[in-house]
Amino acid sequence: MRLTVVANRAPISRTEEGDWVTSVGGLTTALLPVLSDQGGTWVAMGEEPDLPEQQDYPAEDPNFRVRRVPLSQEELDGYYYGMANSVLWPLSHYMVQHLDLRDEFFEHYRQVNERFAEAVNEEYQEGDVIWMQDYHLTFAPALVREAHPDAVMGHFWHIPWPAMEVFRILPGARKILRGMLGNDLIGFHVEEYAKNFVESAEVLLGAEVERPEGIIHWKGREVHVEAHPIGIEVGRFERMSESDKVKRETEEVREEFGAESLVVGIDRLDYTKGVLSRLKAFEEFLEENPDYHGKVSLFQVATPSRTEVESYQQLKREVDEAVGRINGQFAGDYWVPVHYRYRTYTQEELCSFYRAADVALITPLRDGMNLVTQEFITAATEQGVIILSELTGAAYLLPEALQVNPYDQSGLAEAIRTAIEMPDEERRDRIRALKSTVADLNVHRWADDFLDRLAARREGS
């Protein structure tokens, strides 16, 4: 069964030396083996003007094709930075204060989705399975469906689907739902998002739905809506974290920061990740617990992200300021309370940070899943304690984490103390249970399960 993957980003990129390499990242790693094995095409946006529209890969012995949809700067601004990142992203994370609603965003998004659909239609061969990814491509499914009524098509949505009453705030909400209902199968990380989607279709479009099966009847077809929690490449993270190099680097990290207890946070710098509230909670922890001054440090890594969007620039300024304020107020002669790094690291380096942590502080204000949690758990030693926001998809699957409400600053400050003081035996029991769940989630299993369900949809079940 040939596969057409449709995603915003291509799975290969060009190095500075001009060589083509496959990207690092869960989605690429999960889908490329399947694509290479079964043949097919990966359709993605063309981010730079000089990239080929069609590229067979690898050049010497191709086993799949990359098809690019070239975008002008104006289209990229409207479709990607605008509609995807400044409208659908904040809305799906319940952050309506960050909504930037503009007609031109919607218009560019619609046009770019049409071009994606045209590219898919041109590449499509009878019997192919089409798998769309994420919130960049909500109109494309219905457009492909018009051209290929018999195509088997699925969509995985990587962020939360918000409650119906929040989703309906969006002008154009019904158009987005109609676009998505071109699919045969729609996957979310957890049941709660799937239920929200079904309710949106029922209330906003008047569609007939079947619960608890999660079936929407639409234009004479069935659209199945299911939970398919994503995982990480467990084997790779296990191997990396057990390697001598990572173990050595872990020691170096511990020595560099010198604290008795190290609390670690690692996130893309995005307002959904709760970095600012986390820093304030750590500040409150230091205010309330003078006995821990000089003994506990927070190591916060923030990856630069969407730096073109104003609200992200503002967040960076606020985080810089908060780190300066905390260190200015609390630092002692040989103790820095917050070590802050604003940069990207290799996965091996991240593993050494995960292993160096006594406590992982993962407190998004909302997150579809949160893969950093799964990476932390996989790499962690038996000492590692995971503090996890209950407003993440991961929280539904990982009850043994110390769960917190990320909006509750005092609760978070208290959880830091609880985590630091947790007895060894409890730490070990919790992390063992967490490791076992994360091992089962595995991204390869996720891809296989979704594709199996798509194959079943072809048979009509």
Verify binding: residue 370, ligand ADQ, rule CB under 6 A.
yes
CB of 272 to ligand ADQ, least distance (A): 7
- Closer to ligand ADQ by Cβ: residue 68 or 228: 228
Verify binding: residue 397, ligand ADQ, rule CB under 6 A.
no
Alpha carbon of 279 to those of 167, 371, 448: distances in Å?
Answer: 30, 21, 39
Verify binding: residue 365, ligand ADQ, rule CB under 6 A.
no
Which range in 5-13, 243-251, 363-371, 408-416 contacts ligand ADQ by CB under 6 A? 363-371
- Closer to ligand ADQ by Cβ: residue 281 or 443: 443
Cβ pair 455, 129 in contact under 8 A: yes
Verify binding: residue 184, ligand ADQ, rule CB under 6 A.
no
Verify binding: residue 447, ligand ADQ, rule CB under 6 A.
no
CB of 128 to ligand ADQ, least distance (A): 24
CB of 275 to ligand ADQ, least distance (A): 11
Cβ pair 410, 350 in contact under 8 A: no
Measured from the Cβ of residue 18, the count of other Cβ atoms closer than 10 Å reads 6
303 burial via Cβ count (<10 Å: 0-12, 13-18, 19+): middle
Q: How far apart are CA 83 and CA 70, in angstroms?
A: 18
- Closer to ligand ADQ by Cβ: residue 82 or 368: 368
What pairing do the DSSP bridges indicate for beta strands 296-303 and 338-342?
parallel
Q: How far apart are CA 122 and CA 102, in angstroms?
A: 31
Question: To 5 degrees, how large is the angle CA 68–CA 74–CA 79?
Answer: 65
Verify binding: residue 366, ligand ADQ, rule CB under 6 A.
no
CB of 258 to ligand ADQ, least distance (A): 22
CB of 333 to ligand ADQ, least distance (A): 30
Q: How far apart are CA 8 and CA 137, in angstroms?
A: 8
- Closer to ligand ADQ by Cβ: residue 218 or 446: 446
Of the candidates 376, 394, 409, the residue with the CA atom closest to the CA atom of residue 279: 409
**Site for ligand ADQ (CB under 6 A): which residue of 231, 265, 368, 406?**
368
- Closer to ligand ADQ by Cβ: residue 140 or 369: 369
Which amino acid, one-letter code, is at 7? A
CB of 184 to ligand ADQ, least distance (A): 21
**Site for ligand ADQ (CB under 6 A): which residue of 123, 283, 375, 400?**
375
One character per residue 266-285, x = contact with ligand ADQ (rule: CB under 6 A): x-x-----------------
**Site for ligand ADQ (CB under 6 A): which residue of 233, 283, 367, 400?**
367
Verify binding: residue 249, ligand ADQ, rule CB under 6 A.
no
Cβ pair 56, 62 in contact under 8 A: yes
Verify binding: residue 233, ligand ADQ, rule CB under 6 A.
no
Verify binding: residue 396, ligand ADQ, rule CB under 6 A.
no
- Closer to ligand ADQ by Cβ: residue 138 or 370: 370
CB of 26 to ligand ADQ, least distance (A): 6
- What is the Cα 315 distance to its own chain's centre? 19
Verify binding: residue 345, ligand ADQ, rule CB under 6 A.
yes
Query: CA end-to-end span of the chain, whole Å?
Result: 17
Which residues ranging from 291 to 320 are in contact with ligand ADQ (CB under 6 A)?
A: 301, 303
Helix ranges, 62-183 (H): 73-75, 89-92, 103-123, 140-147, 164-167, 173-180
Which range in 80-88, 213-221, 310-318, 344-352 contacts ligand ADQ by CB under 6 A? 344-352
CB of 268 to ligand ADQ, least distance (A): 5
Cβ pair 280, 331 in contact under 8 A: no
Of the candidates 301, 229, 222, the residue with the CA atom closest to the CA atom of residue 268: 301
Residue labelled with tokens 């604003």: 342
Residue labelled with tokens 């978070």: 412
Site size toward ligand ADQ, by CB under 6 A: 17
Verify binding: residue 228, ligand ADQ, rule CB under 6 A.
no
Verify binding: residue 369, ligand ADQ, rule CB under 6 A.
yes
Collapse the DSSP code of 22 into the 3-class scheme (helix H, G, I; strand E, B; otherwise coil) and give the result. strand
**Site for ligand ADQ (CB under 6 A): which residue of 84, 142, 275, 372?**
372
Q: How far apart are CA 360 and CA 143, in angstroms?
A: 44
Integer Rg of the chain from CA: 23
CB of 370 to ligand ADQ, least distance (A): 5
Question: To 5 degrees, how large is the angle CA 182–CA 183–CA 187?
Answer: 140
Residue labelled with tokens 């799906």: 92
Q: Which residues bind ligand ADQ (CB under 6 A)?
A: 158-159, 230, 266, 268, 301, 303, 344-345, 350, 367-372, 375
